[in-house]
Homo-oligomer: A and B are copies of this chain.
Amino acid sequence: MHSFQDLIALFEKQFSQWHFPGTPASLYEPAGYILGIGGKRIRPVLTLMGNELFDELHPDAFQVGNAVELFHNFTLIHDDIMDKAPLRRGMPTVHTKYNDSTALLAGDVMLIYVYQFLNKVQPRYQQRLTAVFNKAAIEVCEGQQLDMDFEKMDPGQVQYADYVHMIGLKTSVLLAASLQLGAIIGGGSEGNQAHLYEFGKNVGIAFQIQDDYLDAFGDPEKFGKQVGGDILVNKKTFLLLKALEFCNPAQREELRRLLDYTGDDKVGRTLQVFRDCKVDAWAEKEKERYTQLAFDHLEAIAVVSGRKHPLTEVADFLLHRQH
């Protein structure tokens, strides 16, 4: 058994030794660039944890971890093109540093390398692993498309349930599948795999609610990015959608005005409406609700509780829980 920190170090050591081919450098250097600008390698570590929950670490968990990490980076490259994002992890995005076509193609080849790694595992569970992985990969694409569709809609048109569904696809299913893939390698039963998947999915949703909450109400010192960034760009967040549901007609009018408003006090005035609608307290409760759901599923996995410790660690890390 390894701790969360041990597993990060183990994975990173192995992953940093793998490289794309040297040529054509114009294709593989951009692909390697994004892998080199960091990231916490959470997803592959979840695969290692899923494996170790049931059995000794198997080398296949590292192959699948590599696949999952490459897939995540592939989505980052392509999402950044679609979002026209200039920065990622404080560094120029791939399409900014190179160009759109190169970034597109570097992402494409990275996705094929995902399947190179998935093709290295033992045949006895290869089809099952690939099926679980593909389901999640397709859902991530569907989530990204729904996100783009929602972007074009008026905030009042987006139903809260649809938004939760979209966020689940876009950000949580890959966390959930990363765990399940490890569980398959470790020989976990289907029932235990399902609980582990739900643990990951609910942690992911709780994490996203927290992310939206911190963007609005976080301590700028601790949060590490501009507070109110989502409000400035009228991003549809858990807070905005729920505020539109909770508020009275006057507050709704004020929120709608603020969406078209670009004055210096846009953030402050929006936060005031959020507080007046008590959407801040709601978000804290909602995050707690999903966290509880996650831990209920973790609890239900039929292994001795000591084996679950690293999963508790990673959830605490992601959800800033203090014990």
Contact = CB atoms under 8 A, between A and B. Distances in A.
Interface string A134-171: 10011001101110110000000000000000000000
Q: What bracket does the count of chain A residues touching chain B fall in?
A: 35 or more
A134 B149 contact: no
Contacts of A142: 24, 27, 109
Interface stretch (A11-19, A52-60, A97-105): A97-105
A108 interface: yes
A272 interface: no
Contacts of A96: none
Contacts of A102: 145, 148
B134 A116 contact: yes
A115 interface: yes
A81 B109 contact: no
Interface string A74-116: 0000100110000000000000000011101101110111011
A130 interface: yes
A105 B145 contact: yes
A119 interface: yes
A112 B137 contact: yes
Contacts of A105: 78, 82, 141, 144-145, 148
Interface in A9-59: 24, 26-27
Nearest to A23: B142
A5 interface: no
Contacts of A302: none
